[in-house]
Amino acid sequence: MIEAIFTAFGGLFASGLGVLLLAAIAGAIFILWDWRIALAGAFLLHLGSSSVLVAIHHVPGLLAAGQMMAITLSLAILAVSGILQSSSLTTRQAANWPLRLMALLFITGAWWFLDTGYALPLFSKMETDLLVWTALCGLALWSFSSSPLMAGVAVLIWSTPLYALASVLLPGSGLTAMIGIADLILALACGYLILLEPAARATIARRPALQWMVQAAEYVRRQLRQVAATEQTDPSSRGGNVATDPLREKAV
């Protein structure tokens, strides 16, 4: 039953359009830089990768289900932390989207120039390119990130090729379970750091109807201060204690 579900998704993602879709999702996560889209995109990347492994490399469905369970729990931890502390996440932007697009184009150009046509053992060239592209997008997301939520999503995206390599090259080593445990621990740590972030201060605007009253009160306060300062510096302005001039008294 589990293998049939993953095989059905594998028939969708194992094609050329499916691989391009997964690559586009990985790039869109970095360019759009929205934590909700990033969480959904990370889930789709792991679903597509695990489905391809089951459909092509005949990875046991129970192993792929364990991977998806660990990733789903990790993403749920980050999602709950982001919802509880969403006020401090809206102001965290890594530059602007044209700069991130230029960085992604630079990575693509460098990878295209340095590509040697090498394929990983037991993987096709298309699968190798997808795994390398996903890892590069995860590293770019992590390097541009200034918030623990996006850093956690970047680590989860970067673990996609690790799951693939551990499931195909080392199927009986238990490395897949260790990667899942590491993802859960990192998600808990990132969720704790998200909750420790200070909430954004809400600015309360004054009502226009009361604005003139505040200005009038400030004007009266300034006038009273000026009068008090004048009385302290000019003793002749005080009443009841004015000194008489001795020359004037002699004239009288």
Q: Which pLDDT tens digit goes with each residue over 28-45?
A: 999 988 889 999 999 999
Whole-model pTM? 0.74
Confidence of residue 94 (pLDDT cuts 50, 70, 90): low
Q: Which of 70-79, 138-147, 227-236: highest mean pLDDT?
A: 70-79
CA–CA gap between residue 222 and residue 68 (Å, rounded): 68
**Largest CA-CA distance found in the chain, in angstroms, rounded:** 125
Q: What is the pLDDT of residue 200?
A: 53
What's the pLDDT at 6?
87
pLDDT of residue 156: 95
CB 63 within 8 A of CB 172: no
Taking alpha carbons only, the member of 168, 163, 169, 159 closest to residue 137 is 159
Distance CA(71)–CA(42), nearest Å, equals 9
| Per-residue confidence band for 236, with pLDDT thresholds at 50, 70 and 90 | low
Task: Tell me which of 160-169, 173-182, 198-207 is least confident.
Answer: 198-207
pLDDT in the model for residue 251 = 47
Is the pLDDT confidence value at 3 over 90?
Answer: no
Distances (CA, A) of 250 to 17, 207, 236, 242, 243: 115, 65, 22, 18, 15
When pLDDT is averaged across residues 224-242 and rounded to a whole number, the result is: 63
Q: Is 232's pLDDT higher than 90?
A: no
Residue pLDDT, tens place only, 112-170: 887 767 888 889 888 999 999 999 999 999 888 888 999 999 999 999 999 999 999 98
Position 224 scores a pLDDT of: 77
Question: Do residues 169 and 58 make contact, with C-beta atoms less than 8 angstroms apart?
Answer: no
Rg for the chain (alpha carbons), in Å?
A: 33
Q: What is the pLDDT of residues 13-27, one digit of tens each?
A: 888 899 999 999 999
